[in-house]
Structure 1
Amino acid sequence: MPGLRTFRTVPDSWRRPLAAAAALPLLALAAPAAQAEPDAGPARVWLVEFTEGADASVLEGAGDLDFTVRHDFERIWNGVSVEADPATARRLGQLGAVERVWSDVMFAGPDARPGVGVPEAQPELAQAIRTTRADEAHDRGVTGGGVEVGIIDTGIDYTHPDLGGCFGDGCRVAYGTDFVGDDFDSDDPDLSEPAPDDDPADCGGHGTHVAGIVGADGEVTGVAPDVRFGAYKVFGCEGSTSAEVIMQAMEAALEDGMDVVNLSLGQSYQWPGYPTAVAADKLTEEGVVVVASMGNDGETGIYSGSAPGVGEDVIAVASTDNPAQRMDAAFVPALDRSIGYRAISESPEPETGTATDALVWLGRACADDPSEGDVDGKAALVVRGTCTFNEKYARAVAEGATSVVVYNDRPGPFGGGGVEDLGVPIIAITDTDGKDLQDLASIGGAPVLEFDGGTVLVDLPRGGLASSFTAYGPAPDLSFKPDVTAPGGGIWSTVPVADGSYEALSGTSMSSPHVAGAAALLLDAEPRLHPRDVRTRLANAAKPVPWGDNPDLGELEAAHRQGTGLIDVIDALDAEAYLYPTGVNTGDGTGPRTFELTLTSHDPDTRDYTMTHRATIATTGDDRDPGFHAAEPNVTFEPKELRLHPGESATIEVTVEPGADLPLGSVFGGRITARPEGGGESLSAAYSGYHGDYLSIPILEHPDFPHLAAVVAQDQETHEFEYRDLAEGETFSLTEGPVLAALIFLGHQPAAMEVSATNARTGEVIVWDREEFLPRSPGPDDAVGVHLKDLVAQRPNALEPGQWTLTVRVLRALGDEDDPAHWEQWTSPEFTLTA
C-alpha cells in the first residue's frame, strides 16, 4: 500500500540523552517521501518475496511489465529487489509464485557526534568490559583470535591505530566494501541511488565506534581485541539507508566468511517477519552469529523493539548504563572543579582556550517566560524543559547572550540538537552542576566556564540499571525479546581519527557490539559452537539487571526489557550445561500457561540441579506510557530437582500462573534458573506473557484520529508532511491538488491494513493491496498519512470524479483475517473528487 507517511514532529527538548548516537530507528512507515504522480507514480525500490521453492525465474512470467531486477538475494532471503512504479509493483504481487511485495523502508541513520578525546581517557570501555568480565577472558588468553566479525554500519576508519591502521590482506580490517557511497541518503530523492565502491572508509563515525567496542586494541581495549573485521558500509556520511542495502551487506558478510555479524541499526516497532529480520535469521542458519540492537525507543513504551533484532534467531541486545561516562570538560574556577558538557548541534563548539562571559540566570527561557536576569553581553544559564532547545537558544541570543548553558531538569547528562545556528555556543550540562552554577549566579558569584580541551568522568544516575532509552519487548507477535543486556550507556570508544579518535556515545548501538565481541570470545575458545549455542551460553550465564525505579514493586527489571540479563563472559565460557530455550513466549490469557525447558549436560561429572524462579517487574496499561506492577506469578516445576549424568538431557515442565492482583493488559515475566549443587555455573532462562486477551488491544481508538486532511507542505530536511483540516465544501483533484490524506493513529501494531474507496453514488468499491506487519505509531499523538495520490498510483485512473469515501481496515495483532471480530474499521466522511 504505497501511501503511508509518517506524520510526527518531535520537539528538540524531547530527544533522549545521546540516543542519536545509537542505532538508528525511526522508519517512514511504508513509503519514501517522494510524491506519486497521478498516472503510474515514480519508480522506487520494492522487495519481492517468492513462495517456498520458487526463485527469480517466476518473474519471467511478468509479461510486458516495466521493472528492473536490482539484486537477487539467493542465500539470505527468498526474493529480489526491483525498481518499479507502484502500479507495476502491485501487478508483480499478483504473480502466482510471489508471496508478498514489501516496501523497501528507510532505516534512519546514526548520528555519531565527533568529539575531542585524549589518549589516556579510556575508563568507560575498560569498566564496561570489567562489568561483563571480558577482561578476565583476556587474562586467560581468550581474545577473539582467529574470529572474523562483520560490522554492517557506516564503515570503519581502518587508519585508526586501535583498529590496525590499514585495510586489506594482513590488516585487522581485512574485508569490506562500500555499498552506497559517501553522499548516499535513501530518504533524499536526489541522493537515494547508491554509488558503491571498494573502500569502506567511515565518514559518519558510528561504525568506527562500534568496531572499537568489539575489538579495539590500543589506547582503548575492546571486548575481543584480536578479532579481524569486515567493514560493510551501508550509510553515507549522513542520512538514511534502506532494507535492500542492509540485506546486500548481510549477503556479502556471509560470502566473506564472517563468523559474527553486528547490526547496530534497526527499524523500530517492527515484526519478526520483515525481510531484514528474516534475512538475519537465515544468516544464523548458515552458521553466522547475528547480533543486533534492540533499539532506543524505550521511552515510547512496550512493543518498541527493532528489526532485525526481533528476528527469531538473532541475539537482540538491550542496554545498561555505565556508572560514568566521559564528557568534554569545562573548568569552573568558582567551584574549583571541572564539569562535563555536550554541545547542542547545530551550534558552534566552544573553542579550546576560551571561556564564557559571566553566567547570569535567565530562567526557563521559553518565549512567554519572564526574564530572570540581564544576559546582555553575558552567558545565559537556563533550565531544560517545556519548550525546545531552539526556542531557549533564540530567546537568550535575542537578549544579547554570548553563550548559552542549559542544565538538565532530570538527573544526569543529556544531549540534543535541532537548534538553528545563531553564532554562539549552546551546551548541555547535568542537573547537579547546573544547580550549583545557579546558586553561584544568584549570590553574585558570576561563574565562568573555561574550555581547556580536557575531559571528565560524569556519574550516570542509572549506572548498572537499564538505560532510559533501551527498548521494551516483546515483539508484536509476543515472541520473547530482547535476549540479553550489555553496557551501552556512556561508552568511550574509537571514532575516526579526523574527528578526535575517541568519543563517549550511548545507545543499544553500543551494547550490541559488546555482545558481538563476547560471541567472538566464545568462538575463540570453542570454534565449533553453533550460533544457537552461542546465544544459549551467553543468555544462560547472564546476571539479572536490578529494577531501580521503585524497589517496593520488585527487585528485577522487566524480563521483556533485559532478556535474561547482563552477560557474564566467564560464566558463559565455563558453562557445562545448556538450558534451552532461553526466552519463552507464554502467550496471552488469564489462566496458567505451561511450557517446557530442556537441560542438557556437557559436564564430565554427574550433577544435581534445583529449579528456581524470580519474578520481574510487569508493565501495565498503555503501550506508550506503561505503568509498573509487581507480577508475583505462581511458578511450579516438574521436576523441581533433577540429576543429570554426563551427556544426558532432561525436560522440565514449567507452569506459570499470573498473580491474582495483576491488572489485565499487563506484560509480565520472570527468570528461571537451574542451580547446580556442589559448584558450577547456574543457568538461566526467561519468559514473558500477556495477561488478558491480546486481541482486545485497540488500534484505531484515538480522540483525534482517524480524520481526513489536506497536505500543506513537506519538510525538505525531515521529509515529514504538514497537514491542515479540510475547508467546508472543498474539492480535490488528483492532477491539480490539493492532496487528500487520511491521518491514522495506530495504537498497536496491526497485522495488516487495507484501504478502499467507495463511490457514494454507484457503490463501486476500489480496494488497494494490503500492507502487512505494520509498526505502531511511536508517540501518543503521532499519526501516519495515507495519501490518495499514492494509492491511485497503484491503480491509475481507478477513481472517477464524484463523491467518495475512504475506508481503513486493520487486523489486530495475531488476529485471524477470516474472523470479522478481529478487524477494526473506519470510514471517512464523503469527499468530492474532480477531474
Structure 2
Amino acid sequence: MKKGIIRYLLPAFVLSFTLSTSSQAAPASKPQTPDLEKAEVFGDIDMTTGKQTTVIVELKEKSLAEAKELGKAQTKSKLKSERSKVKKKALKTIKHGKINREYEQVFSGFSMKLPANEIPKLLSDQDVKAVYPNVTYHTDQLKDKDITLSKDAVSPQMDDSAPYIGANDAWKLGYTGKGVKVAIIDTGVEYKHPDLKKNFGQYKGYDFVDNDYDPEETPSGDPRGASTDHGTHVAGTVAANGTIKGVAPDATLLAYRVLGPGGSGTTENVIAGIERAVQDGADVMNLSLGNSVNNPDWATSTALDWAMSEGVTAVTSNGNSGPNNWTVGSPGASREAISVGATQLPLNEYAVSFGSYSSAKVMGYNKEDDIKALNKKETELIEAGIGEQKDFEGKDLKGKVAVVKRGSIAFVDKADNAKKAGAIGMVVYNNAPGEIEANVPGMSVPTVKLSSEDGEKLVSQLKAGGTKATFHLSVAKSLTEQMADFSSRGPVMDTWMIKPDVSAPGVNIVSTIPTHDPADPYGYGSKQGTSMASPHVAGAAAVIKQAKPKWSPEQIKAALMNTAETLTDADGDVYPHNAQGAGSIRIMKAIKADSLVAPGSYSYGTFMKDKGNETKKETFTIENQSSIRKSYQLEYSFNGTGITVSGTDRVVIPAHQTGKVNAKVKVNAKKVKAGTYEGTVTVREGGKTVAKVPTLLIVKEPDYPRVTSIDVQDGTTQGTYQIETYLPAGAEELAFLVYDSNLDFVGQAGIYKKQDKGYQYFDWNGKVNGDTALPAGEYYMLAYAANKGKSSQVLTEKPFIIE
C-alpha cells in the first residue's frame, strides 16, 4: 500500500527538490533546518555517543587464507602476535573496551565491544585496516511461520524439488554426497531428528550463541526470544535421509549456530562460524541468511570469498527483497561465493468463477488434487473476520471454505489458520477499493481473492443467509519453472556484478523441523524463500564434489552455472540475468560437464564517456576436462544499439588443458542511451552448447536506489529522535519529510547536502519546518536522496510515535 502512495504523492516534490533545496523543496517548507545534526559515522556506526557497541576490526596483517592466496608466508603465531599488539594498545587507550572473538583463518582481526565515541582511537592505529559494524543478520525465509505437516501427510515423493533438479538421477549413479562434509551456518540443527541423525557424527559442530558444543535450535520458552527451526529445515533440504530425502542424503553434516532466538544474529558470530567450518574441514558451507546491505565488501562477504580460496564451496541465499533490481543483500553480494535465487516449480495456473463475483482469481497454490477436490463442489462458506486464529474459534469449518478480509496478518497466516480449523479453501477480499494485486505463493489451502466491492457483497449475502457456493476452476495456463517474485535481484553495488549466480527451487519446500513439543518432537514443514533455494545448491555441490573429488570450488561453481537451465516467464520471455543468474541448476548436466567456462558470468561495469567510443576487454578461460582435443566456437551478443562486441571466435584446446579467449565490448556514446544492457557469450563444441555466460554493462550513471532504508528511533533524551538511513553511494542532497498516519504531508524534518555513502545517522528534535512541534500521534517519515542526476525515495516501513 505505502509504495503505491509514495508513487502518487511525490512527483511535485521531486521536481521542485531537484531544482532547489530551499523553500521550494516541499509544500510549506522553510529554508534548510539547522536542528537536524548529522552524526559522524564510519559505516553503520554512530560515533557521537558513548553507547556501547560492537565492531569488527580488520588488521592489515593478512589472514591465513589471504596470505596463502598471495603466496606469502603466514603463521598462526605471527597473526596472534599482531592481534595481541593491537588488542593491547586498544585496551590500554579505550575506556570500557572488551575483546570478544578473534579471527585468523579467513579474516584477520577481532570483534570488540566499546563505547562508540572511542572508535576513532581504533581507526588511528596504523595496524588497523578497517572497522566494520556488527550488523544483524536474519534467516532468508519469506515468512516466520511454518506450514506444519502431519507425519502421515509426508512421503518421500511429496517433495518434488530434489528430483526436479536431478538428485534422483545422481543417486542412481551412486553420487549421494557420501564422504562430503557440509556446514550448516544457521540457527542450529535438531540433529536428533530421525531424518538427520545418520548425517551427524560424534562431533556436531559449535554453538556461537551459547558458546558450547551443542548447536541445537532455540527451544520454546527461551527468555531471549522465539524458538527456531530454520537451520533444521535447511539441513534437511541438503541431506535428510529418512521419510524426507535431501539433495545429498549421505553427506556428513556439521552445524554452526550463529543465529539465536528469533532467527537473528550478528556479524561477529557469522564470521566465527565461517572460520570454524573451514578449520573443521568442511567441503561445502551453506548460509541461508543475510541483511539488506548491497555491498560486496561487507565483512561476511569477504570471509566467504577467502573460504572459497581455502577449498570450501560457499553457497548463500540472495535475499527476499525482490522483484526490483539492486535488492541483493550481504553476503549474497560476495564476489566468489555462489549466490542463489529462488524459483517456483512448474505448475498450472487456475482461473475461477463463482456466483456473480467477476473479480475472483486464484492465489498461488500448487497442490492440484486440492483444487480439483474443490472444483464444481457445492461448498458452505463461513465468515471468519480477518482470519486470525481467534476468528475461527467456535466455528465449524471442517470441509468448508473460510471467507476472510485482508489486513493485520499475512495471507499465508490466514490460510494456515483456516486449514487448522478444518477448511478446504479460503476466500480473501481486499480491505481497500479495488482488487488484490499480490499473487502470494505458498498458501496452505486453495485461495480465491476478491476485490473489496465483491467481498463486501459476498459477506452481505452470507449475513442474509446465503451460505453456499460452487467454485468452477479450470486451467488457465501451464507455467514452466518460474522465478519467485520475492527473490532478490542484482546488480551488486560498486562491482556491478550479476547476482544471483544461479537459481533453485525455493517455494513450498517440504523438509525437517523440530516441533518443540516434547511429546512429538520431530516433524516436517513447508517453507519458502531463498533460504530454501540455497541448500538445494549446497546439496548439489556436495553431490558434485563426490563425483568430482578433485574439482575446486571455482570448478564446481562454473559447472553449475554453465549447465543451468535458462528460465522464461509466464509470457515466454527470458528472465533478466539479474533475476535468474545463469539459470536453474541441473545436477546431472553439471556432473557430466567436460568443458568449464569461467567466470560463469561477467560485468563490464560502467561506461561513462559523453563522446566517442569506450572499449573494455575481459578474458575467459575454457577448461577441457575430456581426454580428447576439442575445438570451441564462440559467439557474442549485447542487446543495445551502439554496443559492439567481438572476440575470439574459435579456440582449440588439448585434452586436460585450459585455454583463454578474449571478449571485447565497445560502446559508442552517441548511439547508446543511458541504461543497463545484457549480453551473452555462447560457447559451443561439436554443435552442442557448452555454456551461455551472462554478461552486463551499464551506460552512464547506474540507476541504483539513492536511498534504500529509513528508520526513526527514540533519541538519547526524551522528545528527541534518531533518524537512520542507508545511502548506497552517498547523496548530494538528502531530505526528510514527515507524513501523518493517513500519509498526508505534514512538514519537512530537514534537508542536508553532500552525504557520505553507507549508513548515516541524524539527530532530530521532533519538529517540522524549523520550529513547529508535532502533536502526539503516529507518523511516517520519507527519505529523499539525489545523487549524480538521479533520485530515489523510501518511506519508513512502520509508523513511529510522537508522544
User: Residue 335 in 1 paired to residue 356 in 2?
Assistant: no
1:482 partner amino acid: P
Judged with a 3 Å threshold, the aligned counterparts in structure 2 of structure 1 residues 31 and 592 are, in CA distance, closer, same or farther, namely closer
Q: 2:174, 2:452 → 1: CA distance?
A: 45
SS in structure 1 at match of 2:584:
coil
SS in structure 2 at match of 1:253:
helix
Out of 702, 720, 741, the position equivalent to 1:739 is 720
Aligned to 1:506: 528
Aligned to 2:83: 55
Q: 1:468, 1:557 → 2: CA distance?
A: 12
Aligned to 1:312: 335
Q: 1:266, 1:29 → 2: CA distance?
A: 21
> Shift in Å at residue 131 of structure 1?
2.8
Aligned to 2:149: 117
1:445-480 deviation line (CA, Å, top 9, x unaligned) = 52489xxxxxxxx99986512110111111101123
Q: 2:232, 2:42 → 1: CA distance?
A: 29
2:763 partner amino acid: H
User: Residue 688 in 1 paired to residue 696 in 2?
Assistant: yes
1:786 partner amino acid: F
Judged with a 3 Å threshold, the aligned counterparts in structure 2 of structure 1 residues 565 and 772 are, in CA distance, closer, same or farther, namely farther
1:426-458 deviation line (CA, Å, top 9, x unaligned) = 999344999999998769752489xxxxxxxx9
Out of 482, 486, 498, the position equivalent to 2:504 is 486
CA contact (8 A) 1:30 1:105 kept: no
1:307 partner amino acid: S
Aligned to 1:475: 492
Q: 1:474, 1:412 → 2: CA distance?
A: 25
Task: List gaps (5 residues or longer) in structure 2.
Answer: 8-40, 63-81, 219-226, 348-364, 415-421, 431-435, 609-613, 736-753, 766-782, 793-803
Aligned to 1:164: 197
1:504 partner amino acid: S
1:46-95 deviation line (CA, Å, top 9, x unaligned) = 11111235534223223332311111111121110001011222211221
2:762 partner amino acid: V
Aligned to 1:699: 706
Q: 2:117, 2:491 → 1: CA distance?
A: 35
Judged with a 3 Å threshold, the aligned counterparts in structure 2 of structure 1 residues 236 and 502 are, in CA distance, closer, same or farther, namely same
> Shift in Å at residue 200 of structure 1?
2.0
Out of 247, 250, 255, the position equivalent to 1:231 is 255
> Shift in Å at residue 516 of structure 1?
0.3
SS in structure 2 at match of 1:41:
coil
SS in structure 1 at match of 2:588:
helix
User: Residue 563 in 1 paired to residue 544 in 2?
Assistant: no
Q: 2:570, 2:327 → 1: CA distance?
A: 21
> Shift in Å at residue 678 of structure 1?
5.6
Matches within 5 A, 1:84-233: 84-109=114-139, 111-118=143-150, 119-122=152-155, 126-164=159-197, 168-169=201-202, 174-181=203-210, 196=212, 198-201=214-217, 203-233=227-257
Judged with a 3 Å threshold, the aligned counterparts in structure 2 of structure 1 residues 448 and 235 are, in CA distance, closer, same or farther, namely farther
> Shift in Å at residue 345 of structure 1?
9.0
Matches within 5 A, 1:252-271: 252-271=276-295
CA contact (8 A) 1:159 1:166 kept: no
1:690 partner amino acid: I
TM-score w.r.t. the length of structure 1 is: 0.66
Matches within 5 A, 1:144-543: 144-164=177-197, 168-169=201-202, 174-181=203-210, 196=212, 198-201=214-217, 203-299=227-323, 301-324=324-347, 335=377, 347=389, 354-355=396-397, 380-382=403-405, 384=406, 389=409, 405-406=427-428, 409-410=436-437, 412-414=439-441, 429-431=447-449, 446-447=467-468, 463-477=480-494, 478-498=496-516, 501-543=523-565
Judged with a 3 Å threshold, the aligned counterparts in structure 2 of structure 1 residues 132 and 350 are, in CA distance, closer, same or farther, namely farther
Aligned residues: 642
Out of 765, 772, 787, the position equivalent to 2:763 is 787
SS in structure 2 at match of 1:682:
strand
Judged with a 3 Å threshold, the aligned counterparts in structure 2 of structure 1 residues 97 and 59 are, in CA distance, closer, same or farther, namely same
> Shift in Å at residue 146 of structure 1?
0.4
Aligned to 1:653: 662
SS in structure 1 at match of 2:533:
helix
% identity of equivalent residues: 26
> Shift in Å at residue 594 of structure 1?
2.9
Judged with a 3 Å threshold, the aligned counterparts in structure 2 of structure 1 residues 603 and 358 are, in CA distance, closer, same or farther, namely closer
> Shift in Å at residue 122 of structure 1?
4.9
> Shift in Å at residue 245 of structure 1?
1.2
Judged with a 3 Å threshold, the aligned counterparts in structure 2 of structure 1 residues 120 and 687 are, in CA distance, closer, same or farther, namely same
Aligned to 1:610: 633
1:721-780 deviation line (CA, Å, top 9, x unaligned) = 368xxxxxxxxxx9854325457574x44499999xxxxxxxxxxxxxx998627xxxxx
1:597-633 deviation line (CA, Å, top 9, x unaligned) = 1212121122222223566xxxxxxxxxxxxxx6578
CA contact (8 A) 2:499 2:581 kept: yes
Q: 1:526, 1:413 → 2: CA distance?
A: 39
Q: 1:343, 1:674 → 2: CA distance?
A: 58
Q: 2:285, 2:445 → 1: CA distance?
A: 36
TM-score w.r.t. the length of structure 2 is: 0.69
Aligned to 1:721: 712
1:404-442 deviation line (CA, Å, top 9, x unaligned) = 9525824744579xxxxxxxxx99934499999999876
1:524-582 deviation line (CA, Å, top 9, x unaligned) = 11222211111111111112122445x5xxx3211122221111211111111221111
Judged with a 3 Å threshold, the aligned counterparts in structure 2 of structure 1 residues 31 and 737 are, in CA distance, closer, same or farther, namely farther
Per chain length, whose mean CA-contact separation is higher, i.e. which structure has more relative contact order (CA < 8 Å, sep 6+)? 1
Task: List gaps (5 residues or longer) in structure 1.
Answer: 1-7, 15-27, 182-194, 360-378, 395-401, 417-425, 450-457, 616-629, 707-719, 724-733, 756-769, 776-783, 790-807, 814-820, 825-835
> Shift in Å at residue 270 of structure 1?
2.3
Aligned to 1:544: 566
Aligned to 1:191: none
